[in-house]
Structure 1
Amino acid sequence: MTQFVEDHGLLRLLTCGSVDDGKSTLIGRLLFDSKVILADTLHAIEKTSQKRGMQEVDLSLLTDGLQAEREQGITIDVAYRYFSTGTRKFIIADAPGHEQYTRNMVTAASTANLAIILVDARRGVLTQTRRHSCLAHLVGIPHLLVAVNKMDLVDYSEERFEEIRRDYLDFAEQLGIHDVGFLPLSALKGDMVVERGDRLDWYQGPTLMDVLETSPGVEGRLTQPFRFPVQYVCRPQDSANPELHDYRGFMGRVESGHIRVGDSVTVLPSGLTSIIKAIELGGEGLGEAITEQSVTLLLADEIDISRGDMIVKSGELPTQSKQLEATVCWLAETPLDRARTYLIRHTTRDSKAKLAGIEWRVDVNTLDKQPVEQLAMNDIARVSFKLAQPLSVDAYADNRATGAFIVIDESTNNTVGAGMVL
């Protein structure tokens, strides 16, 4: 008899922590114990580990792919790893821990459903632990998991684990973090990562893999309001097929929610309404389209729609505004300039924008809010922009797809900032 395993869908997760907390080793252990490493890859890291005189296989080599990182023993760029188990697929972002790489971490965190914050059991909650938690909270990662690593170096002490848990909860309360779990583990030895091991018998909760396999992923976005930014208007020109002359399809990706044939929709910014006549995917008709599907929508009425417009359900309209209040992470080496005009790209729509004001910059180490005149690289601040054209936005806390935008330097076409609508 065939046994069917429930597929929990894709989970995007972020690992963050201080230098030497063991992020890369933890990811390596997940891949190793999940048996998703190819034999030749395993052989290569075994040889490298032996050359370095290590008694155990250095699993961090599975993620520290950049030569500069290997030489320094730190993670500089964001390393993405993909793997799957019997129940779901995973994308792991291994984010850098240093303050000067804040922008790299914000980029990695922007799509994550879960953040694993590593804490060294010997050192406890550090400034970097607080900074990473602050960033994860700022960019709206819905679930945090504090993984107290290197329990083998504190004799698997329950008292030490509880002490760290209390310290973190005191800090989390100040920041307004409510959805947080705690897990003791040893990435080096493998306890509580995929297998339970036999040295943490006082801990009765799930292993890390158990948490990952059951944590909410994309499905939470299915219940959000329907948002469909139009990427392309399809008007086939085929003289041999006269039926296609009247075909007008609107192509894009369902960023959140779902839509069915027959649903009433509103097109923004025009405000015109119609009914969904058909939904197509690869030339095949669908009765319904859901979050993360790229589809073509056909409407019952002739409406002037172009790239950058947004199709939404008629009873679930976003806010249309020519002023944006947002939390912005500045990514560029050139500071944010009040005198310059920037381009804001929100979903598939662009608008010229000027800085209206900087309310404060947050010190990500102390969480203090400081008044500033300009933003330098890696700064995170509360900022307002005046827009030339209205954008259809949701608060980032409500909808990460339509609550996020990037700031572009018109002269270089470089992305210089990332923003989250308040």
Structure 2
Amino acid sequence: MKREILYQKIAGTIAWQIKTGIWKAGEKLPSLRTISNEYGVSLNTAIQVYYELEKEGFIISRPKSGYIVNYKPLNLSAPATTQPSAQSPGKEEADLIMEVYHSIEDSSITRFSLGIPEDVLLPIAKLYKELTKAMYSLPGNGTRYEDPQGNIRLRNYIARFAYSWNGNLTEDDIVTTTGVTNSISLALSVIARKGDTIAVESPVYFGILQLANSMGLRVLELPTNPVTGIEPDALRKVLPQINLCLLISNFSNPLGSCMPDEHKKEVVQMLAEYNIPLIEDDLYGDVFFGHSRPKPCKAFDEKGLVLWCGSVSKTLAPGYRVGWIAPGKFKDAVIRQKHIHLISTPTLNQEAIANFMENGRYENHLRRLRHELHSNSLHLAQSITYYFPEDTKIIT
């Protein structure tokens, strides 16, 4: 990338951070050397970054004090808490969804509707090597059925990785699946019956509505704050009416809300009082922009009522269809349902992902991915502020 484009890109990122109040007026910005190290650029490029920001009026230079923020940020208000609609998606909406997926290989279409990473963000060459390695190392070159519970090395890694959010799991607590949708489907097949009422966020991911409708479930949408997720008080009021609950607790789709730990703990405890299972879609939990991974509701589960679902579809290999579920007290029933519907999960793909995850390679990839996605999100928000109407609301 040309130097002038690179310094402008970095300057744009810092400018957006200043505009949105991440850096406040009067605060001292990182040193030139820190900027150089953080963005992997030369000291001269870092100087160009701050020169550009100073020229645009975002910062000022003070002798012996460095660079100081000299800008009053925009006051961007977040959208209000949602008011759920009683209307369920009909055939027309379902047909539109299928049209989107039928066009998935059309390179002329920019796919804003599909939340999957572009190829440039994925370690494709390394995954290819691991897939080849798996083919040669497995009995029958990977043509044999897997244990119904799933690849033991993959389950072991997922259990160890769960310690990042204080998850007290072992490999025996995990069942592998073909992705989060499959995890949720298995969970619903075990704990839900036709006519049951399921509580969800509003708005909720369309795939969840499709699953619920296909099983004859009644959907009860909960008021949802775009920053903090569902309102615990709203859930408390409907507890006598529901049979199960399904939440995307971390960075929900489509709102992007992330429930605070105290809300997660409160929700888990109140559901446990009524012996109501919680299916937790934690698909996006590893794609955080802060210093530490947010805990899932599973971290507060003491009765085995939280069925925690995850996958590498949004972080590593969408097409490999590798996911998992920690079903708690429902584990044996989930394994039986998996065996009925799938017999086993794809042997080669699981082994390849397990190979890649060893020795810290997955954590290193996640760090790079989060950095790129964070930078992209800042630039997108910056463009929305510039090009969209003035009353546009945005969550940062």
* Superposition TM-score, scaled by structure 2 size: 0.22
Per residue, is there more helix in 1 or in 2? 2
Per residue, is there more strand in 1 or in 2? 1
* Superposition TM-score, scaled by structure 1 size: 0.21
